[in-house]
Amino acid sequence: MNKFQRFAINADGRDFAVGDVHGYFTKLQAALEAVGFNPAVDRLFSVGDLVDRGPESEQVLKWLDKPWFHAVPGNHEDMAVCYAEQTLRDDLYLQNGGAWLTAKNRDEKAEYAVTLRDLPVAIEVETAEGLVGIVHADCPFLSWSTLRDALSGRLSGLRNVEASCQWSRSRIDTENQEGVSGVRAVIVGHRPTRQPAVLGNVYHIDTGAWMGGHFTLIDLATLQCHPPINPKLNWDWEDRP
């Protein structure tokens, strides 16, 4: 499995990234239509958490088969694979929204596991303004090139890199503004926010579409968010002074 994937510049259309989907693919389709997404030339990159909690998780294979749709795995893909491979208890997965997969037969579970396990942990996309990186939760290094080398097998002795990419909330929990060098921006999800939170050059775009919020789409060339960021609104889901 190639854990790191690079995409050349899109010379014909636009590239977008979207926050956590959690089985709300019909709602995602409506968000794409709202920005005039053209599947003939445009591309959509997902920060992961495609499955669990929502009503349409089983559509994930259909979406991953679309030539214009590309995704990294989130912690919920990690849990789905572990459950299908019987390394995660049924009750723990059910507590995290996995009822859709527990209802499948053994062969169906295996099919989902194979597809989700093969997703690249990180993606980088060339744009006219520079590289944009995509991971689910966080880049655990100060530089993007270190993450690229770690996931490409060029560095030894590094542990828990994939887990950090899929599970870590340390950057946003501490409101770390340091950013990641060697890349124009890093797009992540994982931690639901009322609107996108920009910490250094790291954009947190899980705006809770699965929990009554909305999908945020970010244009990778311009870094413009749709809907736009409201500078008067706090990004945290909870009101703070």
Residues carrying an active site annotation = 76
**Hey, how many other C-beta atoms are within 10 angstroms of the C-beta on 148?**
22
Cα torsion angle, 28, 29, 34, 39, sign: positive
Q: 122-141 in b/e burial notation, b at 16+ Cβ within 10 A?
A: bbbbbbeeebbbbbbbbbbb
Q: How far is CA 103 from CA 39, 85, 90, 146, 213, in A?
A: 32, 15, 11, 40, 27
CA–CA gap between residue 58 and residue 56 (Å, rounded):
5
Helix 106-117 to helix 75-84 angle (10° resolution) is 140
User: Closest Cα to residue 226, out of 25, 8, 2, 32?
Assistant: 32
From the list 211, 222, 30, 51, the residue with the least C-alpha distance to 136 is: 51
